Amino acid sequence: MAAESTPRGQAETPGAGLGDPRRFLRSGRLEAMPRRWRDKIAVTRYLAVQALPTLLEPVTERELTDRLRELVHDPAGVRRAMVDHGLVQRTRDGAEYWRTERTEYDA
């Protein structure tokens, strides 16, 4: 299996060169996560910015779930994916969440 490489002179940035994740949305909503890993990463990074536009601003679990519910069919699954990918951190008890990483989708 061939490894993907980064063109010379370009930094390897998570999500870089993945295309527009909005192509997976229908009427602004994600009904199903894409199958390809790199597309999943791009969509998750995009949705993290949409649901938590301000870095380091804590929101409750319910508020984040409600925000994601407006954007996706599976808000709990996407919330877990954002934590798993290191885009969002949470308190030990899961009561609060906040975005910790700036992405290419930030304004």
Separation CA 61–CA 95 (nearest Å): 5
Tokens standing for residue 12: 């390897």
**pLDDT at residue 28 tops 50:** yes
The reported pLDDT for the residue numbered 104 is: 94
Detail the DSSP E strand segments found in the chain.
Answer: 59-60, 88-90, 96-99
The answer, yes or no, to whether residue 13 has pLDDT greater than 80, is no
| Residue 100: burial class (beta carbons within 10 Å; 0-12, 13-18, 19+) | middle
In this prediction the pTM is: 0.81
| 35-45 per-position pLDDT tens digit | 999 999 999 99
Model pLDDT, residue 51: 97
Q: Which domains does the chain have, with CATH numbers?
A: 32-99 (1.10.10)
Evaluate if residue 106 carries a pLDDT over 50.
yes
Q: What is the pLDDT of residues 45-81, one digit of tens each?
A: 999 999 999 999 999 999 999 999 999 999 999 999 9
Phi-psi region of 31 (alpha: psi -120 to 50; beta: other; left: phi over 0): alpha
